[in-house]
């Protein structure tokens, strides 16, 4: 393995990967984040916003629905007005508010469904509502109205009229006027409804993407972990446990310091594709149907596809997405075998199994050392996982299990804080 002292990853590409994963939960919301971000980007251009403001509203738009944790919530958002509309906005706020690299987007996401109300919506409880929130509010409506149109150019007048009917009530008048100017451009609508609207964003952003180093990547990975795992109490602590065990095993296998950090990041990302799995399946009480199990098995494929668009993340993607591949070729989704699985991928597979066996789940307590060792040894015997890595794990069982427990405790505390913040939100009390 060639050691790399550092790694540069684009924040824009990472946020795009996250939004892509969220939108995979249902075909009816496919590309929604892309479309809203693209509309915001073009509106920012028409409004002559500076580079910093343009980047802010675009990045916030890529994240705007991260708090919609269930398939029902995502589908409800297509109706635009329903009881509990602001719940996902507030969840998105609490995901990001204490995240150093992304906290700047928290307020914008919190207010992205807050109506203009003839100017009253310019502030909430004495606090200024960001202009970016109002831009996303309008862009969100435009995306929903344009979605599913066979020929969007035949519907543009109707879409404009529907938005105009809510000028000064839902939408800030200056933004509606800018949107009407933008809407005269056929290319905007065709870009918006293209299979991958995000591909048209590069020429407007001019690749000013705020690159991240390995430590920045780890910070973003922890935010991804919250969004992935906090959808359900069944999974609330899983990815942090996998990340800590995987990085601990990598250290025991004498990976370099940077490679250990990259392994930890891969652990945070490994279940990214589960954002495409409805929470109703994750939380099902009982055996999954054949159809539900097929959906669950798809999550590693979606992890791979989401991360493959991020430059300089190829190896981390492999470590993350191959965690259900088997040494004998019986795993999924690519049916890779030992020849195609490097040490990092093998470590991640063992770390994922170990964490799943030893962590507490709502339906059973975690297994002890004897039971865990028996299952892992059986999988080695069947040629499914690497015996050398399992040997290292069992030789250091107590130390690695302690790392997992510590990670689980930290994540559980953050999950409870997140849940309590939502339950006691003054913003939700005032808007629902």
Q: What is the pLDDT of residues 374-397, one digit of tens each?
A: 999 999 999 999 999 999 999 999
- Lowest mean pLDDT: which of 49-53, 412-416, 428-432? 428-432
**Where does a domain end: 164, 181, 211?**
211
3-state class (DSSP) for residue 418: helix
Could you tell me if residue 2 is inside a domain?
Answer: no
**At 364, which CATH number?**
1.10.3210.10
For residue 167, what are the β-bridge partners?
171
Rounded CA separation 288/415 (Å): 26
Could you tell me if residue 4 is inside a domain?
Answer: no
> Taking the model in full, what pTM does it have?
0.90
Please list, in sequence order, all residues whose beta carbon lies within 8 angstroms of the beta carbon of residue 234, skipping any fewer than 6 positions away: 282, 283, 361, 362
Structure tokens at 221: 């990975």
pLDDT of residue 431: 86
Domain count along the chain: 2
Whether residue 207 sits in one domain with residue 245: no
Structure tokens at 163: 């938005």
Could you tell me if residue 258 is inside a domain?
Answer: yes
Element (H, E) at 128: strand 127-128
Whether residue 25 sits in one domain with residue 52: yes
30-39 residues labelled b (16+ CB within 10 A) or e (exposed): ebbbbbbbbb
Rounded CA separation 329/203 (Å): 42
Range of the domain at 241: 217-420
Whether residue 195 sits in one domain with residue 94: yes
Q: Is the dihedral of CA 209, 210, 213, 219 positive or negative?
A: negative
342-368 residues labelled b (16+ CB within 10 A) or e (exposed): ebbbbbbbbbbbbbebbbeeeeeebbe
Could you tell me if residue 1 is inside a domain?
Answer: no
3-state class (DSSP) for residue 127: strand
Give per-residue pLDDT as tens, 71-100: 777 777 777 666 778 999 999 999 999 988
Rounded CA separation 13/19 (Å): 10
Give per-residue pLDDT as tens, 213-260: 899 999 999 999 998 888 877 788 899 999 999 999 999 999 999 999
State the residue for tokens 């297994």: 367
Whether residue 161 sits in one domain with residue 294: no
Whether residue 163 sits in one domain with residue 246: no
pLDDT exceeds cutoff 70 at 26: no
Could you tell me if residue 425 is inside a domain?
Answer: no
Structure tokens at 45: 């251009």
């Amino acid at each position: 393995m060639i050691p790399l002292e550092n790694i540069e990853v684009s924040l824009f590409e990472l946020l795009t990967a996250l939004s892509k994963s969220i939108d995979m939960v249902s075909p009816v919301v496919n590309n929604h984040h892309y479309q809203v971000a693209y509309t915001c980007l073009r509106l920012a251009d028409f409004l002559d916003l500076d580079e910093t403001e343009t980047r802010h509203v675009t990045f916030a738009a890529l994240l705007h629905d991260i708090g919609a944790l269930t398939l029902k919530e995502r589908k409800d958002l297509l109706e635009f007005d329903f009881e509990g509309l602001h719940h996902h906005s507030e969840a998105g706020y609490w995901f990001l508010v204490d995240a150093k690299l992304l906290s700047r987007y928290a307020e914008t996401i919190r207010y992205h469904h807050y109506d203009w109300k003839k100017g009253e919506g310019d502030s909430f409880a004495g606090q200024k509502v960001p202009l970016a929130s109002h831009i996303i509010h309008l862009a969100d409506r435009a995306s929903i109205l344009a979605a599913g149109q066979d020929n969007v150019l035949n519907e543009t007048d109707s879409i404009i009229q529907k938005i105009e009917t809510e000028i000064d009530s839902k939408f800030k008048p200056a933004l509606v006027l800018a949107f009407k100017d933008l809407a005269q451009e056929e290319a905007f609508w065709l870009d918006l409804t293209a299979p991958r609207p995000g591909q048209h964003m590069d020429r407007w952003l001019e690749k000013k993407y705020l690159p991240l180093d390995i430590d920045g990547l780890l910070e973003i990975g922890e935010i991804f972990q919250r969004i992935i795992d906090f959808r359900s109490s069944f999974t609330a602590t899983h990815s942090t446990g996998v990340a800590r065990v995987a990085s601990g095993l990598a250290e025991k296998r004498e990976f370099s310091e940077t490679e250990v950090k990259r392994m930890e990041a891969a652990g945070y990302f490994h279940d990214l594709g589960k954002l495409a799995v409805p929470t109703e399946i994750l939380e099902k009480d009982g055996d999954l149907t054949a159809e539900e199990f097929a959906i669950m098995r798809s999550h590693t494929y979606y992890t791979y596809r989401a991360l493959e668009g991020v430059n300089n993340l190829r190896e981390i993607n492999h470590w993350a997405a191959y965690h259900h591949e088997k040494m004998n070729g019986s795993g999924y989704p690519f049916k890779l075998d030992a020849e195609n699985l490097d040490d990092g991928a093998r470590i991640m597979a063992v770390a994922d199994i170990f964490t799943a066996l030893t962590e507490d789940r709502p339906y059973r307590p975690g297994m002890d050392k004897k039971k865990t060792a028996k299952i892992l040894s059986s999988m080695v015997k069947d040629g499914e996982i690497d015996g050398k890595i399992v040997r290292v794990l069992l030789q250091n069982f107590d130390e690695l299990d302690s790392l997992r427990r510590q990670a689980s405790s930290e994540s559980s505390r953050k999950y409870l804080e997140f849940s309590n913040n939502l339950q006691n939100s003054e913003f939700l009390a005032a808007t629902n």
